[in-house]
Structure 1
Amino acid sequence: MNPDTTSYLLLFRNAGPDVHAHLTPAQREEMTKKWNDWVQALSDRGQVAHASPLGLEGRVVSGGKGERVSDGPYAEGKEVVGGYFFLTVDTLAEATEIAKQCPGLPLGLTVEVRPVLAASAVLEGVRAKSLPT
C-alpha cells in the first residue's frame, strides 16, 4: 500500500438476514453479478485490499467483565452488519463516492464509511502522557 494512501472501512448494514427474501432467483443472480462486477472493478483499480461477507451466526459480548453474552450478532439490534470492504484510497470523499456505488443501496442496505486509524486515539493520549518531559 502506498504510504500516502489512507485506509477506509465500508461496513454494509441491512435490516436483517432476510433482506433478499423477496427477490426472485433471477433477481438474486443479477444482484450477485452487480456485486461481483463492482468488487472486481475496485480490485482492478487497487482500491479494495480485501472484502468479505460476514456469517449470520455470532455472539455479542458486553458488560464490564464480559458477563453478558447474546447469540447472534443482531440479537438486540435493528440492523445487521453483513460484510465489509477494506479500501485503500486517498480521501474520505473518495471512499464515500465508492460507497454511493453500492449495488445493495436500492434494497435498503446502508453503507457506513469509516477511516482506519494507525493507532487508537485513547492509547496515543496515554502514551503522550507517559513520555518523559
Structure 2
Amino acid sequence: MRTNPHIDGLLDTLLSIHATLGVQPSDLADAAFEDPYQSIEVVKNDDLVCTTVTFLDMDDPSATRHKMRYVYASDRRLLRIEQKVGSKSFKVQWDRNEAVDRVLVELVQQLRALNSSSNVERFISTVPEELRERFLSKVRAVA
C-alpha cells in the first residue's frame, strides 16, 4: 500500500487517540491542593464516570468561575471534555469519537487518492477490531 508523510501522521494521530486513556480522575483530584481550584466532584452514572473540576481564573480581574467536566467510559477512557465559563452552558472542548471520525475521514480520502479500493480494504483489515467498523463506515460514506 502506498503512503506519504501526511498519511503516516494521520495514522500516528489515530493510534495515539485510540491507545491513550486521557487524563484520569485521580490526576484531576491532585489539583485540589492548588489555589485556584474550588471543588472536584466525581459521579458515576451507569457505565459513565463524570468528574467536574471547578476553579477560578486568576488571570481574569473578575476571577471568573470555570467548570471542566471530564466524561469517562467504564474502561477508564476519557470520552469527552466540556467547559463552562461563568453562567454560560457547558460546551464540548474535545470528544474522542469526533476526533477519531475526523481523522478517519481524512485518512480514507488520502488512502483512496493513492491506492486502489482493494488495497484500502486490505489495509482496513489490519486496523484494531474496535476501529474497523467505524473505518469501514467512513470508506462507504466517502465512496
TM, length-normalised to structure 2: 0.26
More helix by share: 2
Higher relative contact order (CA 8 A, sep 6+): 1
Larger radius of gyration: 2
